[in-house]
Amino acid sequence: MSDGFGLDHLPYGVFSVAGGPRRVGVRYGDGILDLYAATGRPEFDQPSLNAFLALGPEVWRQTRDQVRGLVEDAGLVAIEDAVLHLPVEVADYVDFYASLDHASNVGRIFRPDSEPLTPNWRHLPIGYHGRAGTVVVSGTPVTRPSGQRKAPGDDAPTYGPSRRLDIEAELGFVVGAPSELGAAVPFSGLADHVFGVTGLNDWSARDIQAWEYVPLGPFLGKSFATSISPWVTALAALDAAWVDLPEQDPEPLPYLGPGATRGLDIDVEIELNGEVVSRPPYRTMYWSPAQMLAHMTVNGASLRTGDLFASGTISGPEPDQRGSFLELSWSGKEPFTTSDGTSHSFLEDGDEVVLRYSAPGIDGGRITLGEVAGRIEPART
């Protein structure tokens, strides 16, 4: 049994074998249960999870019970024989900014003579609408983006490959059940609409981002690639991982459920070229998943099956808990060093980053969420 992928986990993904059709499967140990072969249900003979996700929470619950009764006796496809694909056809992608420590660090870096947090930060979960079409599955190479960048001392912007390419270690939330246009989803509706979570790396070109983001926020500095895990962990597998949020001061407005929503105890590891360089804790996040969902829909914006929203960079209070290289190197002014003596600030061509996640399991052990890997390729000329 592969650690972290037992009966208490059973994450969903999409796989194929030897160029055959893509189908929905569930990971168990080092194997994959072909759900269409095991059940004959047509929603599993699909190239994405969307048809299954659209069936809603009662079907999700029944299916999890059914799978738990099938995996130990069924023939499994070996992981090494399968190709893993993007698990969800992403409808819309929204990225939040929910870590107090990350937002404070970024504020100190970019606005050293001002308050680190913007006036609205403690009142609402800040986010931006990203590009769904560039969400890619773990293992997909990431091409260094090009664009306009202007250093503070430059007289005018220049065009070229990003010189400050970065990562953001995040957690993604996958929407299954849609909502009606014009109807807000309450903070109590997380489990009614969100199927599960997936690891996520929001690759970021900091120099392109810094020049373009005023006044409308991130655009080309973020839209070139976002990597997610091939596995989606059902919320039901995280029942033992819920924890109280850090204190929210001032108390959020009632629609954000102050005191009624909770965070998740998920540990993250950031590995650069085979060495762990940071361990951010998701449990320190200021805004909860339910609050992000409530805010995202409070204006009547509808949810669609396949929507993906992300937490924003996960950073803790300690220097070795920072979830981006921007923070780990303090914008390049304090490079960090790996055990081979190499100094690092932003990503170089050929660098490989792997994000790993684990959480308490419902059976008393720990579950291992699917990892997110990406290797930087040179910019295309």
Provide the 8-state DSSP code for 163: S
User: How far, in Å, CA of 314 to CA of 291, rounded?
Assistant: 16
- Catalytic choice (102, 193, 295, 344): 102
User: How far, in Å, CA of 265 to CA of 243, rounded?
Assistant: 6
Number of Cβ within a 10 Å radius of residue 201 = 27
Contact 45, 23 (CB under 8 A): yes
User: How far, in Å, CA of 264 to CA of 163, rounded?
Assistant: 34
In one-letter notation, the amino acid at residue 357 is Y
Q: Is 258 exposed, middle or buried (0-12, 13-18, 19+ CB in 10 A)?
A: middle
User: How far, in Å, CA of 187 to CA of 288, rounded?
Assistant: 10
Known catalytic membership, residue 102: yes
User: How far, in Å, CA of 106 to CA of 3, rounded?
Assistant: 36
Strands 366-377 and 142-143: parallel
- Give me Rg for the CA atoms of the chain: 20
User: How far, in Å, CA of 185 to CA of 302, rounded?
Assistant: 9
User: How far, in Å, CA of 238 to CA of 202, rounded?
Assistant: 23
User: How far, in Å, CA of 159 to CA of 157, rounded?
Assistant: 7
Q: Which residues are catalytic?
A: 102
